[in-house]
Amino acid sequence: MTLQGTSLIGQQAVTGDQAIIRAIDPSTGEALAPDYPGLDRDAVARACELAGAAFEAYRETSLEARAAFLEAIAAEIEALGEPLIERAMAETGLPRARLEGERGRTCGQLRLFAAVVRAGEWLDVRIDPALPERQPMPRVDLRQRHVALGPVAVFGASNFPLAFSVAGGDTASSLAAGCPVVVKAHSAHPGTSELVGRAVQKAVAGCGLPEGVFSLLFGAGREVGQALVADPRIQAVGFTGSRAGGLALQQTAQNRPQPIPVYAEMSSINPVFLLPEALEARATELAEGFVGSLNMGAGQFCTNPGLVIGVKGEALDAFVAAAGEAVKGSAAQTMLTPGIHAAYADGVGALAGEAREIARGPVGEGPHQCQTALFATRGADFLRDEALQAEVFGASALVVECADLDEMHRVAHHLEGQLTATLQLDDGDLDAARALLPVLERKAGRVLANGWPTGVEVCHAMVHGGPFPATSDARSTSVGSAAIQRFLRPVCYQNLPAGLLPEALQDDNPLKVSRLVDGKRE
């Protein structure tokens, strides 16, 4: 497929006439053809109008039809073959294996949501049958299901050009919920976005769905995204990116005549707590595991471990020394964009002014490469200086040396909201872990033991979310099957004649879904 540099509005390819986006190969600094001219506000409105028009039919597609559509998207993405991987490599500087893995994850995610749609747990069916004889008042027949919120605006993320972009987790969960999607492509990987967008477009046509179920918009700057979130047809927003970007969208969403929910995954430094026995027993092993996690994807994961907390002493010194050595041996990696590299350099520079430098990785040979960075500070200083909690997006971490376990506790309490919190612990650390756990549960969406936060399983129990500023809505997850719940709302039906009841709520349970009948699970 030849890239055409167009947005996709329903089944149409539309060439914008606004400022041009041009992809840059971050490993060479060279621009990649073709140009992607941005759309104007009228084109954004057209996409939203189509999405609005498609909503009624799409939200009531059968579970099977919707699941088949999600599977068709996965098949169409796979059918793109090698050109997708090559274009993504050129646009992101990410290695082949990572992108092949990410493609697998993206398609697996679409197929998981197909299974989720078929299983129907998301309908949250509740039936309270009529009690005509109840005293002092009879009870009417009441039935509840969940329905789709409406068209969703999805913002592609820079750091997952496939799994959190055009057909990524936000898109898959919106479509699964019955919501048409209008994607604002991330300007860092327009070609990858166009390829995947055309795959989705093909699946829409192949499944005979209304064209407005999916559109893909390009736009330099913020205008297209802001217009999209402000459009009255849009009913929810999915976003992964910076804190400033997420908060700006949140503001726009709140200032609409009808405010809408924004699910923004924004900022997390993912603290790792090294408990004393574990640290004593395996400081070097922990240091190596830590730096391996820190360097994954050039540190450009939302769950990158940017903060390590331990009690000062010989064992922590050994950890820091070994981690420093591992950092020095960390090959420079190309970052996603020149802008991200520049922000990383600034962030590391700022940390260098606040904390003690332990080690830097070697200078790379190409442009836009990160030098892994490790800093240390005292617990007391961390508690004093909010700036030490600022996320540095990329392979940079700070070790906090606490005076004792009490100070470690205070550091935990002092943390902002996080996507993850990790405990490294041995059997002898159970009491210390038990004391920390309630604090960590309040700070993070996922608490893990003896692992590293990078690597987010796409499954039913996953929570990729967490208290502000990790996300704008701690009640949700953007990874895993529960992500579908973000795009649903409950509707109750009272005394509806059987002939009017949605299939999910009919007496004989034709969809064979799990139901809560009179409060009891069936």
Catalytic residue list:
265, 302
Q: Among residues 13, 119, 207, 352, which is the contact residue for a copy of itself, using CB under 8 A?
A: 119
Chain positions 137 to 176 lying near a copy of itself, rule: CB under 8 A, are 137, 139-140, 142-144, 147, 149-150
Distance of CA 434 to the CA centre of its chain: 29
Q: Among residues 115, 220, 318, 343, which is the contact residue for a copy of itself, using CB under 8 A?
A: 115
Number of residues near a copy of itself (by CB under 8 A): 77
Token pair in block for residue 344? 């990383």
482's enclosing H/E stretch is: none
Look at the alpha carbons of 227, 229, 233, 239 in this order and tell me if their dihedral is positive or negative: positive
Check binding of 282 to a copy of itself (CB under 8 A). Answer: no
Instruction: Characterize the bridge pairing of strands 7-9 and 12-14.
Output: antiparallel
Specify burial of residue 2 (Cβ count, 10 A radius: 0-12, 13-18, 19+): exposed
Q: Among residues 20, 242, 468, 506, which is the contact residue for a copy of itself, using CB under 8 A?
A: 468
Site string for a copy of itself, 376-415 (x = CB under 8 A): ----------------------------------------
**Distance between CA atoms of 124 and 435, rounded to whole angstroms?**
35
Stretch that binds a copy of itself, among 208-216, 350-358, 402-410, 489-497 (CB under 8 A): 489-497
In the complex, minimum distance from the CB of residue 35 to a copy of itself, in angstroms, rounded to a whole number: 38
Helix, strand, coil in percent for the chain, rounding step 5: 45, 20, 35
Q: Which residues of 410-448 are buried (b: 16+ CB within 10 A; e: fewer)?
A: bbbeebbbbbbbbbbbbeebeebbeebeebbeebbbbbb
**Distance between CA atoms of 51 and 63, rounded to whole angstroms?**
20
Check binding of 245 to a copy of itself (CB under 8 A). Answer: no
* Residue placing its CB nearer to a copy of itself in the complex, 269 or 348: 269
Distance of CA 78 to the CA centre of its chain: 22
Q: Say which residue the tokens 């640290």 belong to.
A: 279
In the complex, minimum distance from the CB of residue 269 to a copy of itself, in angstroms, rounded to a whole number: 16
Could you tell me which residues are beta bridge partners of residue 378?
A: 401
**Distance between CA atoms of 171 and 349, rounded to whole angstroms?**
36
* Residue placing its CB nearer to a copy of itself in the complex, 279 or 320: 279
* Residue placing its CB nearer to a copy of itself in the complex, 205 or 491: 491
If we measure between CA atoms, which residue out of 265, 336, 207, 267 comes closest to residue 478?
265
Q: Among residues 103, 126, 184, 233, which is the contact residue for a copy of itself, using CB under 8 A?
A: 126
Q: Among residues 212, 296, 417, 418, which is the contact residue for a copy of itself, using CB under 8 A?
A: 417
In the complex, minimum distance from the CB of residue 49 to a copy of itself, in angstroms, rounded to a whole number: 15
Check binding of 60 to a copy of itself (CB under 8 A). Answer: yes
**Distance between CA atoms of 89 and 162, rounded to whole angstroms?**
11
In the complex, minimum distance from the CB of residue 147 to a copy of itself, in angstroms, rounded to a whole number: 6
Q: Alpha helix (H) ranges present in 296-444?
A: 314-328, 338-354, 379-384, 405-414, 430-443
* Residue placing its CB nearer to a copy of itself in the complex, 52 or 156: 52
Site string for a copy of itself, 38-57 (x = CB under 8 A): ------------------x-
Q: Residues in the chain, how many?
A: 522
Neighbour tally for 41: CB within 10 Å: 16
Q: Among residues 357, 459, 507, 512, which is the contact residue for a copy of itself, using CB under 8 A?
A: 459
Q: Among residues 13, 32, 321, 496, which is the contact residue for a copy of itself, using CB under 8 A?
A: 496
* Residue placing its CB nearer to a copy of itself in the complex, 205 or 459: 459
Stretch that binds a copy of itself, among 18-26, 197-205, 270-278, 469-477 (CB under 8 A): 469-477
* Residue placing its CB nearer to a copy of itself in the complex, 349 or 438: 438
In the complex, minimum distance from the CB of residue 258 to a copy of itself, in angstroms, rounded to a whole number: 5
Stretch that binds a copy of itself, among 124-132, 178-186, 343-351, 355-363 (CB under 8 A): 124-132
* Residue placing its CB nearer to a copy of itself in the complex, 23 or 67: 67
Q: Among residues 37, 180, 261, 394, which is the contact residue for a copy of itself, using CB under 8 A?
A: 261
In the complex, minimum distance from the CB of residue 287 to a copy of itself, in angstroms, rounded to a whole number: 20
In angstroms, what CA-CA distances link 423 with 278, 309, 360, 437, 499?
10, 10, 25, 9, 55
**Distance between CA atoms of 206 and 170, rounded to whole angstroms?**
22
Site string for a copy of itself, 418-457 (x = CB under 8 A): -------x----x--xx--xx--xx-xxxxxxxx---x-x
